[in-house]
Amino acid sequence: EDQVTQSPEALRLQEGESSSLNCSYTVSGLRGLFWYRQDPGKGPEFLFTLYSAGEEKEKERLKATLTKKESFLHITAPKPEDSATYLCAVQGGGSNYKLTFGKGTLLTVNP
């Protein structure tokens, strides 16, 4: 069974204070690892897909990286508008069209 563990559960940063969110996973044959952003009262919004160890993707202040056991979402010089819950999900080799989500990290960026 695919499993995803995200840490920390909550993270509070000052504006401009860079940090990283962690996503540890256990899957049988990783097809893809995905990051989503979820704002309060909204549905998740797709950010990145990573397929293999060593791969990196960037979007504005966010950078996602992948190893064989975990993924990191690095946030550089965050702004208050980056405050959201960040979700990690995986698709394993035995799970056609099924994503397994972690519980998320609630990020709060104070001005």
Tokens read off for 81: 């508008």
Does residue 111 interact with another protein by CB under 8 A? no
Give the contact letters, 59-78, x = binds to another protein (CB under 8 A), - = no.
--------------------
Question: How far apart, in Å, are the Cα atoms of 41 and each of 1, 38, 49, 89, 95?
Answer: 30, 8, 24, 20, 29
Does residue 12 interact with another protein by CB under 8 A? no
Which range in 22-30, 52-60, 68-76, 102-110 contacts another protein by CB under 8 A?
102-110
Best CA proximity match to 17, nearest among 58, 70, 71, 61 = 61
Best CA proximity match to 4, nearest among 107, 106, 104 = 104
Does residue 40 interact with another protein by CB under 8 A? no
Q: Which of residues 64, 87, 107, 109 is near another protein by CB under 8 A?
A: 87
Which range in 18-26, 60-68, 71-79, 91-99 contacts another protein by CB under 8 A?
91-99
Question: Around Cβ 52, how many Cβ atoms within 10 Å?
Answer: 10
